[in-house]
Chains A and B, each alone.
Chain A
Amino acid sequence: MGELKTILSIKRIRYGITTLMILAIISILTILITPFKYDRITYNVHLPPLSSSDNIWPHIFGTDSLGRDVFTRTFYAFMLDISCGLAIVGISGSIGLVIGLIAGYLGGAVDAVLMRLMDIVISIPGFILAIAIAAVLGASLVNAIIAVAIVTIPIYARLVRSIVLSVKESLFILAAKEAGISGVRIIFKHIMPHIIPMFITQATLELSNAILYIAALSFIGLGVQEPTPEWGLMMSIGRRYIMEAWWPAVFPGIVMFLTVLAFNLIGDGLRDYLDPKKRFSIVKLI
């Protein structure tokens, strides 16, 4: 409990969590009570922000090129993008964790093979590889998630392996081995507690990356398809009419920026908290 209090006392983490909470509440309220449907096409094309509608609510962010309410779509997209991010981090994080644990704990040939495999994946720029995978699988949300997940596995695998290697030779592990405790039990009882903090920090930072990847894939036409609301796709369509109406492209971008920023702030704060060398200076600085 005390530790949680210390973590929450870091301003960056507090700002990040507050931003996310506000966005999430707006998003839930929007989904529950909005009078507009996210995919209903109307004649009210490119109405500017705050223009009045037939309903009690004005079009807060205006309407897009098909007359759909941009505010409603942006906050539906919030839920979609966050879920995509979580799915990607969940899949690639757990696979990366297993690979890292096996490679680090077993060592030898298994380690060499697994890590060379990871090196190959990492030697191609992530986004480029994700494009190649998503293009083969076909443009859809699920395929985009799979593509990004595959590309980000090595990040976790390398992190977990390095932590395993650093604690593997310590006395308490050797003692546990001597005492005849099984490998699986050593991994879960003795090694895992060392991995979890760094792993969660990395996963938080990767969450913002995952969201950017999904949006970027959708932006170039390889992810979410119309009429599903997704930030990248909304910006990609808004871009075509940018000289007539800026709002359908800019507002989703701003909400995406705030979301990504929030995760980065939390991740950054956590990293500094975990690194005792930096902890002092951070408390002093911010």
Chain B
Amino acid sequence: MDRNIISYFFLRLIQSIFSILGAVIIIFILSRVLPGNPAIAILGPKATPENIERVMKEWGLDKNYLEQFSIYISRLVQGDLGNSYIMGISVNKLVIERLPASFELVVFAFIISLIIGIPLGIFIAKKHDSKLDLIFSSTSILGFSFPTMLLGILLLLFFGLGLHLPVGGRLDPRYTIKVYTGFMLIDTLLNGNIAAFIDAFLRIIPPALTLAIPLTCLMVRFTRNSVLEVMMQDFVKTAKMKRLPESIVMYRHILRNALVPIITIAGLYFAVLVTGDIIVETIFAWPGLGRLIWEAVTLRDYMVIQGAVLVVSIIYISVNAIVDILYFYIDPRIKG
């Protein structure tokens, strides 16, 4: 069985590498094959002739596409995403600066939706066909039809104007925090600054909730359905007939099996989080990758857009691969 997992792991790894290569090719084609000078696309409409020449030389834009691609790939493999001529620094630096903020927000949102979604889903599954179940089943569609934009704006109004809590950004600028990990919630604690931690905590809640609410609705729905499905199976009936305590049946028999589809869904909806993240970071002025993409779009900085898109795609592909491997690990019945 262990050998199976290892071979599956490598298979999935190779698959992911091909996916990433595909993403790289798409982004390369997008930037080169379209009409017009790619240097102008990189530099923006206000490009000076010297800069155009510099970029042409740097990326080998006067050579044929194959050579251009090999230059592009070799730079990428070295981890070089190029320079932003509009923002004036390297794209690598920009992305690395912004990544922890997005990571913190997305993970926080994910944890909220897991903590609320799974227990609530189990609770509703236990009471299936009750009034509560009926109400939830018929209203859960409301939850994921709710546009992130609207939800974000409403939460901004609620927390900012309604509750007069601090919203926008990660931390009040009057706190100076020494950066250790890049995660504000951890850094403020490491600095021993409790007031700053509370401020950072209050500021992460509205954007995290915006991401978490639709995801929670999905979690509840899928948990309910998959728990219900497992509950109807024979081995659960047997366990119940053996008079095993209900909590043991729930955790050992039902949940373990029900978790498999839940994990898949969690992985699939990571893409939803990524999409929502761009909107949410724009609304709440959260200085992460999503906000960086928005800033780059506003400045028409194609180098940054391209770099950020590539990084997000790689993260997305990796998360999906990890989820698949996890899936295989939990449920060895699945082969490839």
Distance between B252 CB and nearest chain A CB, rounded to angstroms: 28
Give the residues in chain B near A261, CB-CB below 8 Å: 141-142, 145
Say whether A250 contacts B274, CB under 8 Å: no
A119 to B316, CA, bound (A): 14
Given contacts A120-B23, A123-B19, A135-B297, contact A216 B149 (CB under 8 A): yes
For the complex, give the distance between the alpha carbons of A148 and B141 in Å: 23
Contacting pair B150 A128 (CB below 8 A) = no
- State whether A242 touches B147 (Cβ < 8 A): no
Number of interface residues of B (CB under 8 A): 49
Complex contact B278–A127 (CB within 8 A) = yes
Q: Is B153 engaged at the interface, CB distance under 8 Å to the other chain?
A: yes
CB distance from A240 to the nearest CB of B (A): 11
Shortest beta-carbon distance, B45 to chain A, in Å?
Answer: 10
The SS class assigned to the B binding surface is helix
Decide: A208 near B153, CB < 8 A? Known: A119-B19, A135-B305, A220-B297.
no
A: number of interface residues (CB 8 Å): 46
**B149–A128 contact, CB under 8 A?**
no
CB pair B279–A220 under 8 Å, yes or no, is yes
Q: Mark A108-126, 1 if CB is under 8 A from B, else 0.
A: 0000000000011101111
Is B146 in the interface zone, CB < 8 Å from A?
yes
Question: Which of A208, A242, A285 is within 8 Å of B145, CB to CB?
Answer: A208
Q: Tell me whether A232 and B150 are in contact (CB under 8 A).
A: no
In the assembly, what is the distance between CA of A125 and CA of B312, in Å? 8
A124 pairs with B150, CB closer than 8 A:
no
Secondary structure at the A interface, as helix, strand, loop or mixed, is helix
Q: Is the CB of A220 within 8 A of B157?
A: no
Known interface pairs A128-B312, A136-B30, A257-B150. Does A219 touch B22 (Cβ–Cβ under 8 Å)? no
Least CB distance from A239 to B in Å reads: 6
Contact across chains for A260 and B147 when beta carbons are under 8 A apart: yes
Whether B298 pairs with A132 at a CB distance below 8 angstroms is no
A136 touches B31 (CB 8 A): yes
| A121 / chain B contacts, CB cutoff of 8 Å | 26
Q: B317 interface residue, CB < 8 Å from A?
A: yes
A257 touching B297 by the CB < 8 A rule?
Answer: no
**A246 at the A/B interface (Cβ < 8 Å)?**
yes
Assess whether A39 is interfacial by the CB under 8 Å rule: no
Does chain A have a CB within 8 A of B309? Answer: yes
Inter-chain CA distance A215–B148, complex, in Å, is 11
Q: Does B258 contact A (CB under 8 A)?
A: no
Does B96 count as interface, using CB distance less than 8 angstroms?
A: no
Q: Which of B34, B156, B160, B312 contacts A136 (CB 8 A)?
A: B34
Q: What are the residues of chain B within 8 A of A222 when measuring CB–CB?
A: 297
1/0 per residue, CB under 8 A from A, across B149-168: the answer is: 11001101100110000000
Q: In B273-331, which residues have CB < 8 Å from any A CB?
A: 274-275, 278-279, 282-283, 293-294, 297-298, 300, 302, 305-306, 309, 312-313, 316-317, 320
Q: B275 near A216 (CB under 8 angstroms)?
A: yes
> In the complex the two chains form, is B23's CB within 8 Å of A257's CB?
no
A243-261 contacts to B (CB < 8 Å): 243, 246, 249-250, 253-254, 256-257, 260-261
Q: Is residue B138 contacting chain A, with contact meaning CB distance below 8 A? A: yes
**A253 touching B153 in the complex, CB below 8 Å, given contacts A132-B30, A243-B161, A268-B141:** yes
Known: A132-B306, A250-B154, A264-B145. A221 touches B275 (CB 8 A): no
Binding site for B on A (CB under 8 A): 119-121, 123-129, 131-133, 135-137, 139, 208, 212, 215-216, 219-222, 232, 235-236, 238-239, 242-243, 246, 249-250, 253-254, 256-257, 260-261, 264-265, 268, 285-286
Chain B contacts to A: CB under 8 angstroms: 19, 22-23, 25-27, 30-31, 34, 41, 134, 137-138, 141-142, 144-150, 153-154, 156-157, 160-161, 271, 274-275, 278-279, 282-283, 293-294, 297-298, 300, 302, 305-306, 309, 312-313, 316-317, 320
- CB-defined A-B contacts under 8 Å, sample of 23: A123-B313, A123-B320, A124-B317, A125-B313, A127-B274, A128-B309, A129-B313, A131-B278, A135-B305, A136-B34, A215-B149, A216-B149, A220-B282, A220-B297, A236-B282, A242-B157, A243-B161, A253-B147, A256-B150, A257-B146, A257-B147, A285-B138, A286-B138
